[in-house]
Amino acid sequence: MLFGRKSIEDIIDKCQEIFDLMSEVTACFTGHRAQKLPWKFNEKDPRCIEMKENAKAEIEKAIQRGYTTFLCGMALGFDMICAEIVLELKKKYPNIRLIGAIPCKNQYDRWPQAQIDRYRKLVKQLDGVRCIYDEYVDGCMIERNEYMLNNSSLVIALYNGLGGGTKSTIEKAKKKGIDVVVIKP
């Protein structure tokens, strides 16, 4: 079947080209949740303040390299910190966008109330949301990470060298040829 002079296959190919071009200007974040960080939820800890400064510097470098879209998994810890940094940088760089890549609508069910409030405030400021599942299912966090990797050409990571989802995401990114910037906690 043809649409005008183009077949559906031609249209699909053109859409894939557009997605590929979009990923060239899209970065995503991966990092440890607050519970795994040396400072836990104490963001006034000097180590956390230093990490935030490093993350902001890396995000700004990405913007200066032409990245305009940032995908954020909106998890506790590094994800939400990066979301706040991108929102702050939008004042200086109004062309950048922050997209929430949310594994499931109820990802915050077991979080402390202060973090739920923080999450909800951030979600209201997102430029878009890609929600993988309505409810939690096994593997939804991994699928969220895959979505971000499939749509990015840069990963900004907070990684302490230990196993877990962050390590797995970094390894997958490297296998896919995606640039990875690692910030140490």
Domain ranges of the chain: 7-183
d(CA 87, CA 81): 10
At residue 49, the pLDDT reads: 97
pLDDT tens readout for residues 92-102: 999 999 999 99
Instruction: Determine what percent of the chain is predicted with pLDDT higher than 90.
Output: 82
Phi then psi for residue 44, to 5 deg, are -90, -5
Lowest-pLDDT range of 3-7, 42-46, 148-152: 3-7
CA distance 56 to 50: 10
pLDDT, one tens digit per residue, over 24-53 is 799 999 999 888 889 999 999 999 999 999
User: Domain 7-183 belongs to what architecture?
Assistant: 3-Layer(aba) Sandwich (3.40)
Q: Would the pTM count as exceeding 0.75?
A: yes
* β-pair type (128-133, 154-158): unpaired
Across the chain, what does the average pLDDT equal?
90
Q: Report how far residue 108's alpha carbon sits from residue 165's, in angstroms, rounded to the nearest whole number.
A: 17
- How far, CA to CA in Å, does 182 sit from each of 34, 85, 110, 136? 17, 17, 28, 29
Q: What is the mean pLDDT of residues 101-115?
A: 94
Q: At what angle do helices 46-64 and 78-89 cross, to 10 degrees?
A: 50
- pLDDT at residue 4 is higher than 80: no
Q: Is a pLDDT exceeding 60 seen at residue 120?
A: yes
3-state secondary structure of 45: coil
The DSSP bridge pattern shows strands 97-104 and 69-72 to be parallel
Instruction: Say whether pLDDT at 136 is over 90.
Output: yes
Alpha-carbon distance of 47 to 53, in angstroms, equals 10
pLDDT of residue 21: 46
